Structure 1
Amino acid sequence: KYSCFLTHAPPCNTLGFLQKNNSLGEEGRLAGSLSERQKNLFSSVNSDRDARFRRTETDFSNMFARDLLPAKNGEEATMQFLLELVDILTNYVRKTFDRSTKVLDFHHPHQLLEGMEGFNLELSDQPESLEQILVDCRDTLKYGVRTGHPRFFNQLSTGLDIIGLAGEWLTSTANTNMFTYEIAPVFVLMEQLTLKKMREIIGWPSGEGDGIFSPGGAISNMYSVMIARYKYFPEVKTKGMSAAPRLVLFTSELSHYSIKKAGAALGFGSENVVLLSTDERGRVIPADLEAKILDVKQKGYHPLFVNATAGSTVYGAFDPINEIADICEKYNMWLHVDGAWGGGLLMSRKHRHKFSGVERANSVTWNPHKMMGVPLQCSAILVREKGILAGCNSMCAGYLFQPDKQYDVSYDTGDKAIQCGRHVDIFKFWLMWKAKGTIGFEQHIDKCLDLSQYLYDKIRNREGYEMVFEGVPQHTNVCFWYIPPSLRGMEHNSKEYREKLHKVAPNIKAMMMESGTTMVGYQPQGQKVNFFRMVISNPAALQSDIDFLIDEIERLGHDL
């Protein structure tokens, strides 16, 4: 199993890499066909498993963590404990895809804090038995939410990909850090190759540029603001914001709040984040951007950065990137595209036109853990200009980034990150890409968009439903009000109607969670009262699950 990386690489390169970097010594040690080596490997693994990895009845009540490896004679206890844990995990996986199981077993915070049937969140001074630890593992899953359930539609990140899960297990077992090639050689190379492939898909020539995986889209967006400031005012790195004029950022009024948060955190000030007006579909109006840039310049401030959203959180809207790029070029501003939610559509020949002009961006955020179904977390910041990440963030820590190492130190990525320690987010994504191919991601994206079209067609003229905006959604976001029979005869513009309608979605959502049947998000937006925001990114979801959701909304909301 652990030879899969070798089997996909050219044999001569693989041998050279291993002999050069691992000093295997004996000439011809790795000679012979990979298929023969693979057969021998599986044979030895299976034989080993038969002898040593058979699950047996084990009393964990008098066993403790100290009895596991690296304890002397701890191997058998360790194997039995892990086999028991694997049983818990595989049962959970199986039930996740079983539509007869609940999405969640809801309990209020005070109930979980008080303890549930032997499940206690309080920490203890004395070690607890492995039996209790296994109970805690089961109950943690039991009282959580099955985000991979086919009827979980609550967040942008849904689904449970088995290959991605395997990648996450392996990543945790390796337990290494991404800051140097020295301690994460294969993971560092995987990251560089994958980021290059993503830049090629964006449309940057030969995939040139830079990038890094970060702890989520908010941090990726923050990187873009930091890099833009460094590009135009590099002295801020050493002298602080006093070395620059008053800098202003621009973003949609419906963009993710992380742009405003970046402005606050990086010293721009939230008042220097200008919100742009949008049309009825939630897309930035380019004329409003240019008018606000001119207003800022007239005040003597410096317009620095524009964020164009590709797939907004609520409406799923795509800002007109080409028109925004024209304005950014005219006023010499940095253009960032926040494709955290929409990035997956770049994999689809049918839908990537919604990103028209993305190749003109200076930086792009893309979260594979959203639309592409990679397990959390997996977010990339991609930059068109090579070297600027390191220029912005490098601090040359001598104890990590020695220039006289025996390998090419350009592969040490840590100094271009704002973190020191950095989790390995690449392997699960790389492994999924190998398993599915680009075509597999494309099929997944297209299927999710088709399901959202199915939902839209199902409810747009259905009694008791009103769409938040007219027209086919650009993404899988379908926004609507459910109007119970008791409200259907009321004047829709009246204060009483709006107040009552505002309570419908929260009430239905609460009943959904209490019954555990399904989950879908809701929110207000500007002057609009609470409405449902349906999003589809789960590869397990089918048309029958969409039908179930609508039936459940009507069942729970009929008597409100």
Structure 2
Amino acid sequence: MAGEWLTATANTNMFTYEVAPVFTLMEDIILSRMRAKVGWTGGDGILVPGGALANLYSVLAARYHKVPDVKFQGMKYLPQLVMFTSEQGHFSIKRSAAIMGIGTDNVIQIRCDGRGKMLVSDLESEVEAALARGCLPFYVNATCGTTVLGAYDPVHEIADVCQKHGLWLHVDGAWGGSVLMSNKHRHLLDGIERANSMTWNPHKLMGVPLQCSAILLKDKGILQACNSMQANYLFQQDKNYDMGYDTGDKAIQCGRHNDIFKLWLMWRSKGDRGFEDHVNKVFEHAEYLRRKIKGREGFEFVVEKGELTNVCFWYVPPSMRTLQPGVERDQQINTVAPKIKARMMESGATLVGYQPLGNLPNFFRMVISNPGVTEADLDFFVEEIERLGRDL
């Protein structure tokens, strides 16, 4: 919070080194440290307001890397570009395609298994099918920490496909990337060092105040080459310092809020160990909730052994517990979570999201990211669902 207040007090733009020298160096240091956690030496990156914008940067960089002339000549003379992401990936990948003129129809959604993880065999088939159609595949998005189930796509296997076909591999770790801070859980991102770029949102699992997201790249120079306009009224090329510190020329934005100070100050305060304890604690809370629900009458898991801190489950009221599995049962259970959620809002005691997924009826999605949550809070949460839904 102190970082938030001081950031607002300074009210400093981040587009050139001379305007914000200390904050520019803070950003350089922190992004270097984040890339080191990924397993990269060198590389590049920039802080952005959110994961959707970070994902857009990744598509821009990947397209420029594949067809650099697109910056000057546009898309007119190119074959149809094609991108790939899982059917449970974030919507911002498709929106990036829409923004960039690639088109949402050219974002191929890859099927997932029952745990929400991308099926690499389907990815391989879709890449080959796109090539057979005369298209130009250039980008694969692997989601590490899907929004609903918290699943991690298999990065190593996806990287093999990308290496075979010369595709840019982006890892959307907006939600799940912060497991890199935990020695206990970083195995979920095995293979991340093989990616070309990564989205990482410290304002999610690490608890940094909004907005604080990063787009990280394995190689230096692509962001600058892709986005730079070298406007000489702002980014003079004969300044008396390294022009690489004028980050505004590699950003989509020009003016940019000084969000880095919040992350820098928090990292200085907590250290690697503090963030590791933070991440481990929320995983422990999620596991406690799973144990609480497992075997409890009326509660059924969507995925019992979730990978992240997303705990997804149905509550089945007593009146529906004798129904046989099938369409009628699903239709009735589909109405339960919305009704309980409405009662939660009216009572004001607790609040949790719900959603369907594919053909599955509505279920609750409890996501734990606050280490201040206690076991007593989670006990109350479960009991409150029972109280509000018992008569349905």
Identify the TM-score tier after normalising by the shorter chain: over 0.9
Work out the percentage of aligned pairs sharing the same amino acid. 59
- DSSP 3-state at the match of 2:18: coil
Q: Which runs of 4+ in 1 moved over 3 A?
A: none
Corresponding letter in the other structure for 2:363: F
Distance 2:266 2:257 in 1: 18
Contact 1:363 1:384 in 2 (8 A): yes
The question of 1:478 aligning with 2:314 is answered no
Of 345, 351, 372, the match for 1:540: 372
- DSSP 3-state at the match of 1:242: coil
Distance 1:406 1:209 in 2: 24
The question of 1:549 aligning with 2:385 is answered no
Of 47, 61, 72, the match for 1:227: 61
Matches within 5 A, 1:347-358: 347-358=181-192
Corresponding letter in the other structure for 2:306: P
Q: Unaligned stretches of 5+ in structure 1?
A: 1-164
Q: Deviations over 1:485-507 (max 9, x none)?
A: 11111223142x22221111111
Deviation at 1:442, TM superposition (A): 0.4
Distance 2:77 2:7 in 1: 42
Distance 2:377 2:24 in 1: 40
Deviation at 1:189, TM superposition (A): 0.4
Q: Unaligned stretches of 5+ in structure 2?
A: none
Of 286, 290, 298, the match for 2:124: 290
Q: TM-score, normalised by structure 1?
A: 0.69
Q: Deviations over 1:276-333 (max 9, x none)?
A: 0111100001111001101001111111100001100000000000000011000000
Q: TM-score, normalised by structure 2?
A: 0.99
Deviation at 1:209, TM superposition (A): 0.3
- DSSP 3-state at the match of 1:427: helix
1:327 corresponds to: 161
Distance 2:175 2:115 in 1: 17
The question of 1:394 aligning with 2:228 is answered yes
Corresponding letter in the other structure for 1:521: G
1:180 corresponds to: 16
1:559 corresponds to: 391
* Count of matched residue pairs: 392
Q: Deviations over 1:418-439 (max 9, x none)?
A: 1111111101111000000010
Corresponding letter in the other structure for 1:199: R
1:105 corresponds to: none
Distance 1:286 1:490 in 2: 36
The question of 1:445 aligning with 2:274 is answered no
Question: Higher strand share goes to which structure?
Answer: 2
- DSSP 3-state at the match of 1:480: strand
1:492 corresponds to: 325
Deviation at 1:410, TM superposition (A): 2.0
Matches within 5 A, 1:235-314: 235-314=69-148
Corresponding letter in the other structure for 1:558: R
Structure index of larger Rg: 1
Distance 2:368 2:87 in 1: 24
1:513 corresponds to: 345
Distance 1:539 1:402 in 2: 46
2:51 corresponds to: 217
Corresponding letter in the other structure for 2:16: T
Deviation at 1:168, TM superposition (A): 0.6
Corresponding letter in the other structure for 1:322: H
CA-based RMSD: 0.9
Q: Deviations over 1:346-397 (max 9, x none)?
A: 0000000010000000000000000000011111000011011010000111
Corresponding letter in the other structure for 2:159: A
Distance 1:187 1:514 in 2: 44
Q: Deviations over 1:449-497 (max 9, x none)?
A: 111111111112110011112x4110000110001111111223142x2
The question of 1:203 aligning with 2:36 is answered no
Distance 1:557 1:501 in 2: 11
Deviation at 1:558, TM superposition (A): 0.8
